[in-house]
Each structure stands twice: as structure tokens, then as C-alpha cells.
């Protein structure tokens, strides 16, 4: 310690009150907030995640069920319309044509023929979903209708009727009840009309037009949907139940990952704060003290020299300045080593040997000896291998300084076949490797992380230590 300096040097400055964000007055330069006072971020809620998963699954089921229902109804409706066209064609050829052949007077409006034909149609055709029927001539005259008031009237044929008269496939569409030929239909009812071509008793073309209840058509679509619904909804429900354990596991994994990230973040913050305190302590207790002592001694020597006039005071001789220069050089070395720890060197530019030398340069200021032996091949190492060797050496030396109470550190780097070997030994107090595993479990993971890094590169880490016998670490990294 420099004579005349207090045991603990502390730069002071006036403490001025400032206001924090809430308006309370605090003192700038006061003690830092207590560790652990940072608000903890909320953890992910497994129940909330599962509820979100279930609600999303239900929404997907509803959407898919709705789409399936719409598509099934459309398919069922189309199938029912096709079926109505087939029924119309079969009924026209198989029932209406033979009945007209037996009652040819229908075309001439003979009452007896019409009565017999009407009785036959009502017994054989007009039942179930077929609720109405008409028979047209090519010129638009109705020769028969179950609504007798329309018989003999003439109307313009629509496009579908004319297409059917050309011999094309039967045409079906929803009937427009606003037409004059449908004026006797009940308002609000929907009918599906089908046009199909038939032949009269003399071979003349006629148009057979049966009317089907549209509710029967939509009922067919509903039946198809109901036949698909149990399978679709059941499959969706089974899929949802099968995914539930996976969602549960993923939610727990997310929460564990969040806890791990928060733990690592807290560890990084605490390590950063501890590292800053360590650097501040090293500067305060080492370099700052040395430079302050050199300043005081040089000032005292200058005053003595000035008071002696032309006669040089013995206390201001060359030894004083040589000692000051020596101590300044030591402070520069310490600062350079500290800078190396704060910001790692450019290994590619300075080389591994120079970087390791700078790293060990701080040890004498801590009362420790250091020995460095580097024997590398002429071909330069790649950047990743160089950085890994430096990182390993830095972590091992740091452990020796902090925990081993060692008097000396020996660091050696050489080449063995296709392997770069790093060996670091110290004469410290050593430790029981089993106790080291317990320390790692408690959060001291430096060597463990180091071993993982080396293992990822295909290398190995061997550690030998015992209480009172120092520690030896050997790291092998492929070239």
C-alpha cells in the first residue's frame, strides 16, 4: 500500500437528488437496487395454452362441419335432380306413352279419354314426390294436366322445353311459379320441373313435364350430409383427442423452455454485474492505486527538487524515476491484460501465442507466476480452432485465479499428430472432482459448458485434481 493513502480509496462526488419516474426523490450515487428486485416476467399458463388449443380445435371442427354440410347438401341436391331427370324419362317412356296409346283421344280433348288417362296417371304416377304433371304438344298446347283448367290452353315454351323437344337429355330446373301456366299453384311452394321427350299415339313429338316437390330434393341432400356427419365429426373428435397429449407436452415444454431462458438470462445479467464489479475492483485496488502512488511520489520528488535549488536532493535521484517508470509499466501491463478480458483480441491478427501472453500478463500483479510454452505447426490454425483454444485457456486460467489460491500457472500448447493439445496446470489447493460435479449442479457451469463446446468440435477435456495437489486440465482439439 502506498504510504499516506487510505486503506480503501474511493472517489467521491457530490450527491445530488434526482427524481425517479414515480416522482419520488432518490439520491444519485446511492446503493444499487437489491439483487432480485427485478420484476419476474409471467410464466406461460399451461391451462391457458390448452384452452386456446381446444377452442381452436372446436372452431376448426365447426368450420369443417359447416363446409362439409354445405358441400354434402349441394352434392345431394345435384344427385336428387339427376334422379328426378331419370325418373321423368323412365315415367314418360314406360307409363305415359303406353297410357296415351290406350287413350288416343287425349290429344283431341275427348272427355272420356281424358278421364281414363287422368285416373291412370293418379294411380301410377302422381304420388310421393311427384305432385304435378303436364303433357305439351310441340306448338305449346297443353293436352293434359292434373289441373284440368289448364287443358287446351296454349303457352310459349321456354328454352329448356325446346331443348328437350330436340331429343337432348331431359332438362330440369326449379319452376317459376310466376308463369301463366303455373297460376293455379300454391304461393310459396317450390317445385322442380323436368322436361323429357315422348311420342304420341301417331309418333308425334310430345313433351312430358312432371313436377317434383323441391323439399324432397333438399331432403336427399340432408340425408347424404347426415350419413357423412358421424364419420367426419367422429374423425375430427378422435384427431382432437389424439392431439391433446401432444399439446399438453408441448405446453409444458414451452414453460420449461421459458424458465430455462429466464434462468440463463438472470445468470447472464448477474455474471455481467459481477464481472463489472470485479473489473472495477481490480482497477481500484490495482492500477488506480499504483498510478495514484506514482503521482504522489513524483509530486513529492518535484517539490523536493525545487526546494533544493541547484543542489539536487538525494530523495529525487534516478532511483525514484526508475521505480515510477517500473510501476507505470506494470500498470500498463495490467490495463492491457484487463482490456484483453473485456474485449478478446483479434486472434487472427495477433496470433494465439501473443493473445495467451497478454492474458497471463495480469497474473504477476495478483502475486502469481505464469509460464507459457507454445509450440504450434508452421501452417496457421483455422479461426474456429484458435478461438476455441483461447476460450478454453481463458476459462481454465480464470478458475485457477478465482478458486485455486494458486501461486503459479503453467500453460502449454503443442501439436500431437492431428490434435492441438492445451495443458493448464496450477499449484493451488485443488478439489475433489465429485464436489466439482455438485458445484456444477448448483449453477457453476463454466467447465461443463467448456466441455460441451470442445465435444461439439470433436475434442475431449480431461481434468485431474485432488485436495492440496493442484489441478491439471488437458484439452485436445482436432486440427
Q: Beta partners for 17? A: 27
pLDDT at 144 (0 to 100): 93
Nearest to 100 by CA among 177, 3, 204, 28: 204
CATH of domain 48-221: 3.30.450.20
> Are 116 and 130 spatial neighbours (Cβ–Cβ below 8 Å)?
no
> Are 378 and 315 spatial neighbours (Cβ–Cβ below 8 Å)?
no
Residue in the block written with cell 495467451: 356
> Are 142 and 156 spatial neighbours (Cβ–Cβ below 8 Å)?
no
What single string gives the DSSP state of each residue in 49-97?
Answer: HHHHHHHHHHHHHHHHHHHHHHHHHHHHHHHHHHHHHHHHHHHIIIIIH
At 43, list the grid cell. Answer: 410464466
Whether this prediction's pTM lies above 0.75 is answered by: no
> Are 100 and 124 spatial neighbours (Cβ–Cβ below 8 Å)?
no
pLDDT at 187 (0 to 100): 61
Helices (H), 404-445: 433-441
Domain positions in the chain: 48-221, 366-478
CATH of domain 366-478: 3.30.565.10
pLDDT at 315 (0 to 100): 55
At 33, list the grid cell. Answer: 437496487
Q: Rounded to the nearest 5°, which phi and psi values hold at 298? A: -65, -40
Helix (H) / strand (E) element for 208: namely strand 205-213
- Taking the C-alpha atoms of residue 355 and residue 373, their distance in angstroms, rounded to an integer, is 13
Q: Please give the chain's pLDDT, 479 residues, in tens.
A: 333 333 333 333 334 444 443 343 433 444 444 444 455 556 667 778 778 877 887 888 788 778 877 777 777 778 778 888 888 888 888 899 999 988 888 988 899 999 999 999 998 888 888 888 999 998 989 999 988 888 989 998 888 888 888 876 777 777 766 777 777 776 657 788 888 888 888 889 999 989 888 777 777 767 777 777 787 778 878 877 887 787 788 777 877 887 887 877 777 777 667 667 767 776 776 677 777 777 777 777 777 767 655 555 555 566 777 777 777 877 777 776 666 666 566 676 778 888 888 888 878 877 889 999 999 887 778 888 888 898 899 889 988 888 888 899 999 999 888 899 999 999 988 888 776 555 444 334 567 777 888 888 889 999 998 888 899 999 999 98
**Ramachandran region, residue 402 (left: φ > 0; alpha: ψ -120 to 50; beta: rest):** alpha
pLDDT at 424 (0 to 100): 95
pLDDT at 4 (0 to 100): 36
Return the C-alpha torsion angle 152, 155, 160, 163, nearest 10.
70
Q: From residue 29, how far is each of 14, 26, 182, 271 by CA, in Å?
A: 9, 9, 97, 22
Amino acid at each position: 500500500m502506498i504510504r499516506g493513502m487510505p486503506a480503501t480509496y474511493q472517489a467521491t462526488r457530490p450527491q445530488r437528488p434526482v427524481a425517479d419516474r414515480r416522482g419520488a426523490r432518490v439520491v444519485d450515487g446511492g446503493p444499487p437496487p437489491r439483487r432480485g428486485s427485478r420484476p419476474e416476467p409471467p410464466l406461460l399458463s399451461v391451462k391457458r395454452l390448452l384452452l386456446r388449443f381446444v377452442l381452436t380445435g372446436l372452431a376448426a371442427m365447426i368450420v369443417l362441419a359447416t363446409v362439409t354440410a354445405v358441400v354434402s347438401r349441394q352434392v345431394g341436391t345435384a344427385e336428387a335432380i339427376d334422379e328426378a331427370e331419370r325418373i321423368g324419362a323412365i315415367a314418360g317412356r314406360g307409363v305415359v306413352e303406353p297410357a296415351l296409346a290406350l287413350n288416343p283421344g287425349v290429344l283431341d280433348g275427348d272427355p272420356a279419354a281424358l278421364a281414363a288417362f287422368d285416373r291412370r296417371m293418379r294411380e301410377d304416377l302422381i304420388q310421393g314426390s311427384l305432385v304435378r304433371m303436364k303433357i305439351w304438344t310441340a306448338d305449346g298446347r297443353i293436352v293434359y294436366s292434373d289441373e284440368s283448367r289448364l287443358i287446351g290452353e296454349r303457352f310459349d315454351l321456354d328454352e329448356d322445353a325446346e331443348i328437350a323437344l330436340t331429343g337432348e337429355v331431359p332438362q330440369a330446373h326449379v319452376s317459376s311459379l310466376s308463369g301463366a301456366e303455373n297460376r293455379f299453384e300454391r304461393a310459396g311452394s317450390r317445385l322442380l320441373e323436368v322436361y323429357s321427350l315422348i311420342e304420341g299415339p301417331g309418333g308425334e313429338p310430345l313433351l312430358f313435364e312432371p313436377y317434383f316437390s323441391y323439399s324432397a330434393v333438399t331432403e336427399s341432400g340432408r340425408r347424404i350430409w347426415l350419413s357423412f356427419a358421424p364419420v367426419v365429426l367422429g374423425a375430427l373428435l378422435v384427431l382432437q383427442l389424439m392431439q391433446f397429449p401432444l399439446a399438453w407436452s408441448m405446453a409444458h415444454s414451452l414453460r420449461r423452455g421459458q424458465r430455462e431462458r429466464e434462468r440463463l438470462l438472470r445468470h447472464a445479467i448477474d455474471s455481467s454485474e459481477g464481472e463489472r464489479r470485479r473489473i472495477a475492483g481490480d482497477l481500484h485496488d490495482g492500477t488506480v492505486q499504483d498510478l495514484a502512488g506514482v503521482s504522489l511520489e513524483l509530486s513529492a520528488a518535484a517539490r523536493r527538487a525545487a526546494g533544493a535549488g541547484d543542489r539536487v536532493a538525494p530523495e529525487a535521484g534516478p532511483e525514484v524515476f526508475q521505480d515510477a517508470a517500473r510501476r507505470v509499466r506494470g500498470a500498463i501491463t495490467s490495463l492491457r491484460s484487463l482490456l484483453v478480458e473485456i474485449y478478446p483480441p483479434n486472434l487472427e491478427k495477433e496470433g494465439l501465442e501473443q493473445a495467451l501472453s497478454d492474458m497471463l500478463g495480469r497474473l504477476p500483479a495478483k502475486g502469481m507466476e505464469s509460464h507459457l510454452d507454445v509450440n504450434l505447426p508452421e501452417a496457421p490454425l483455422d479461426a474456429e480452432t484458435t478461438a476455441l483454444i483461447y476460450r478454453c485457456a481463458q476459462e481454465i486460467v480464470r478458475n485457477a485465479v478465482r478458486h485455486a489460491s494458486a501461486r503459479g500457472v503453467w500453460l502449454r500448447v503443442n501439436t500431437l499428430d492431428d490434435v492441438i493439445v492445451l495443458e493448464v496446470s496450477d499449484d493451488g489447493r485443488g478439489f475433489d472432482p465429485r464436489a466439482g460435479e455438485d458445484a456444477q449442479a448448483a449453477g457453476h457451469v463454466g467447465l461443463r459448458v467448456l466441455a460441451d463446446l470442445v465435444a461439439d468440435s470433436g475434442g475431449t477435456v480431461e481434468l485431474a485434481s485432488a485436495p492440496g495437489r493442484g489441478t491439471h486440465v488437458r484439452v485436445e482439439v482436432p486440427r
